[in-house]
Amino acid sequence: MDDQAHHIVRVFNNNAVLVRNNDSEHIIVGRGIGFGRRPGDSIEHGEAHRHYVEVSAQRIQFLKQAQNLPEQALDAISGGIELAADILGELHPSVYLLLSDHLIFAMQRLHDGQVIRNNLMTEIRAVFPEEFAAAEAVLTYINTHSGIILPADEAAFIALHLNAARSGVTVKQPLEQANRLATIINDAGQSLGIVREVPEEVSASILATMRRIESGMFRKNDALRAISRDLPQEFDVAQRIIAQLLQVDAVPLLALGEVAFLSVTLHAWRQSDGVIHPFKQKESQ
């Protein structure tokens, strides 16, 4: 962007404005940048440069059309994102555009009768617990203030955006992390014939194993021999997982302790798959 003044064409919300500069339109985002502004106001170059985010003409058009949403809903989205910044600390300014964009589209999909589902909800909660907790608060705020009730699954999508904004990366990167955990869990479940959804404590344990392996920290397990003997199927699956994480054909001796610990985790999941809940059983009789 050059040094000439940028004149506001439209105020989307407190955190995003459309400006014109040299006959071209841009979106400038940042907390409070639209507060108290009106079309025709100018934004100084330094302030504009600090918050400038490059967007396509299609996205600008989409945001213009999105202004047809009730003002109450747009204000709720803006307030929800500000709440996330209060909870998590400074976020990349692009979140005020990209997450708003996503939430507006989600509201439109809901209005059209589409069902919003996120099959990675468990994994996203495990990989990004702080962002997920903030996302749940954002979702509650939006649902309370917008008059539109977005489903619980939406918290997982919001959490991805918050992690990206917190880390300064694109949403694709946290999504890949959640997908990686999901792939390992799905492969393990299929190999062991488990049909029950993975409990949160199991996914958290598998995630912790992944992070230790990736950082080169291996635990010793004195019960290694007994575990490999008594839990042969779980041990075999755990070996494949650890080998995959290490990108090797065979697990080195140093990492066999982690294989043993993971085997026990998989066994606990497998056992829970066949648990009968006596109270539920009585209710069904």
Residue 105, domain CATH: 1.10.1790.10
Decide if 210 is inside a domain: yes
Q: For the chain, what is the total number of helices (H) and then of strands (E)?
A: 13, 5
- The per-residue pLDDT for 282 is 43
Of 12-16, 25-29, 242-246, the range with the highest mean pLDDT is 242-246
How many of the other CB atoms lie within 10 Å of CB of 4? 11
Decide if 257 is inside a domain: yes
Phi, psi of 35 (to 5 degrees): -65, 125
Q: What angle do CA 141, 144, 148 make, to 5 degrees?
A: 110
The pLDDT of residue 244 is above 80? yes
End-to-end CA distance of the chain: 71
Decide if 277 is inside a domain: no
Condensed to tens digits (0 to 9), the pLDDT of residues 160-195 reads: 999 999 998 999 999 999 999 999 999 999 999 998
- The per-residue pLDDT for 58 is 67
- The per-residue pLDDT for 23 is 73
Decide if 283 is inside a domain: no
- The per-residue pLDDT for 193 is 92
Question: CA dihedral defined by 51, 86, 166, 2, rounded to 10 degrees?
Answer: 0
How many of the other CB atoms lie within 10 Å of CB of 232? 11
Same structural domain, 123 and 190: no
The pLDDT of residue 69 is above 80? no
Domain count, the chain: 3
Instruction: For residue 6, give the 3-state DSSP assignment.
Output: strand
Condensed to tens digits (0 to 9), the pLDDT of residues 214-228 reads: 888 999 999 999 999
> Which of 116, 148, 171 is a domain's end point?
171
Residue 138 to residue 87: CA distance in whole angstroms: 10
Distance of CA 179 to the CA centre of its chain: 11
Domain residues for the domain of 20 are 6-55
pTM above 0.85, yes or no: no
Average pLDDT across the chain, whole number:
86
Same structural domain, 191 and 262: yes
Decide if 120 is inside a domain: yes
Residue 98 to residue 134: CA distance in whole angstroms: 17
How many of the other CB atoms lie within 10 Å of CB of 49? 14
Same structural domain, 166 and 70: yes
> Which residues are paired to 8 by β-bridges?
19
Same structural domain, 73 and 119: yes
- The per-residue pLDDT for 46 is 61
Same structural domain, 155 and 82: yes
